[in-house]
Structure 1
Amino acid sequence: MSAQGQALTGLRRFVVKQRYTMMVNRYEIRALAPDGSDGPVLAMAQQKRLAFKELVTFYADEARTVPVFSFKARQAIDLGATYDVLDADGAPIGLFRKDFAASLLRSTWHIEAGAVSAVGQERNVLVAILRRVTDAIPLAVHVDFVDPQGRPVMSSERTWGLRDRYVIDVPDTRLDTRVAAAMAVALDALQGR
C-alpha cells in the first residue's frame, strides 16, 4: 500500500470538498484538524458527469498520476447499483449499494467491508422530503450509518457554504477509511447534490 493509502486507513475524521468544473466533479479528501480547519489534501477524486458506467478513481496527487483506490459500478445504469471499492491494485476492499425502495423517502445506503455491515439513512425525514421537492434551497444533508446493533459506524454532515463540504466521522475503527471516503464522495456524486 502506498504512503498515501496508509495515511488514509487510520483517519477517523476528514473532510470531503467538491471543486466545480464544467465536465467533471472533482473532490478533495482532507484531514480535519482539531481546530476544525482543513488539513492537507490526502486524495483527489474525479467523476465524469453523465458516465454510462460509474468509475471514480482517488489519486494521491492533484496531477492524478498515483491512484490510491477507486469505486466502480458493477452494472451500467442501475437504480440500485452495487459499487465495489478497490485498492490501488484493483483488489476489493468493500462495497456499497443504494436501497432504491427505501430511498424514495430518505436516501438509504448499505456498506459492507470486512467485518463491517452498516445501513445509512438521511438523519432528518423533513429535510429529505424538502430535498425531493425543491432544488432552490441548499439543505444540509446528514447521513448516519449504523451496524445491525445500532452502533455508529460512519456519518456524513454537509456544512453550509458556497461549495459542497462534508465532514466525515468514522468512529468504527473496523471500517477501512478508503471505503468511508468512497461512500462519502458517492453520497454527493451519485445523488446529484
Structure 2
Amino acid sequence: MPPGPMPPGAQPPAAMVVPQFFVKQRITVMVNRYEVIAANPDGSEGHLLAFAEQKRMKLKEEVVFFSDAAKSRRVFSFKARQRLDVHAEHDVFDEYGQPLGTFSKQFGASLVRSTWNLEAPGIAAVGRERRPVIAVLRRVWDFIPFIGDVWVPFVFHFDFVDAATGATVLVSERQKAIRDRYTVTVPDPRLDFRVAASMAVALDALQSR
C-alpha cells in the first residue's frame, strides 16, 4: 500500500538518511583526515561512507568529503563564510555546490559550554556539550602547559535538539580511544546525512576554535 499523504506542515525525510555512523580521525603533518563509516545493525563498523580532509593553515576553513580514500569523487563539503573567525558560519554543499545546511558556533555560550547552531531544511537545532562539569574541566585542562595541547583525558558528548520542539536531532558521543573516535546517531530523518556528517566532523576539527 502506498504511503498516505503527509500531515500539513510536515517536513519529508531528507534525500540521504543514515540513522547511525562512526567518525574516526587520522592525523598527519599537514592534513587531518576523517573516515565516516556506516554502523551495522549489531553496532559493528560497516563500509566507508565518506573520506574527509581538512587542510591546516587555510584562511577560510574548508573540509572536503570524498567517496573513498583514493579521493576519486568529491561528494560534499563544508566551508566557512568568514576568515579565521570564531563566529564563522559554515555552509554545507553537495557535490554540485548546492547548499544543504549551515552550522556555526555560539562564541559567548561556548566560553563555558560549547554550543553550536545547526540548520537544515525544516530544522533549526542547538547542540551543547552534555555535561557542564566536564566542559569546565576541559577548559581548565587546556591551560596546563604542554599537556593540554597533546592529551585530553575527558570523554565528552554533544546533544542537538530541535529549538522548536526539543526533540533530539543529532547525538555525537566520543569514545575512549587513542585517536579521536565518535559514534553519531541521527534520530531525525529530516537531517540529511551529509549535513550530519559535516557537523560531526566539525565537532572535532573546529572544536578548539
| Equivalent residue, structure 1, for 2:203 | 187
Instruction: Write out aligned runs for 1:56-95 (5 A).
Output: 56-95=63-102
The answer as to 2:154 corresponding to 1:147 is no
Which has more radius of gyration?
2
Instruction: Write out aligned runs for 1:1-193 (5 A).
Output: 9-134=16-141, 135=148, 136-148=151-163, 149-192=165-208
Per-residue displacement from partner, 1:118-160 (whole Å, max 9, x unpaired)? 0000000111011111134421110000012210000100000
How big is the shift at 1:50? 2.3
How big is the shift at 1:34? 2.1
Retained in 1: the 8 A contact 2:34–2:53? yes
Secondary structure at the residue paired with 1:27?
Answer: strand
Large movers: runs of 4+ above 4 Å: none
Which residue identity is paired with 1:191? Q
- Give the count of matched residue pairs: 186
Structure 2's unaligned 5+ residue stretches are 1-14, 142-147
Distance 2:125 2:82 in 1: 22
Secondary structure at the residue paired with 1:9?
Answer: coil
Retained in 1: the 8 A contact 2:17–2:191? no
**TM-score, structure 2 normalization:** 0.86
Which residue identity is paired with 2:205? A
Per-residue displacement from partner, 1:35-69 (whole Å, max 9, x unpaired)? 22111111000001222111110000111120110
| Percent identity of equivalent pairs | 55
CA RMSD of aligned residues (A): 1.4
Structure 1's unaligned 5+ residue stretches are 1-7
Which residue identity is paired with 2:23? V
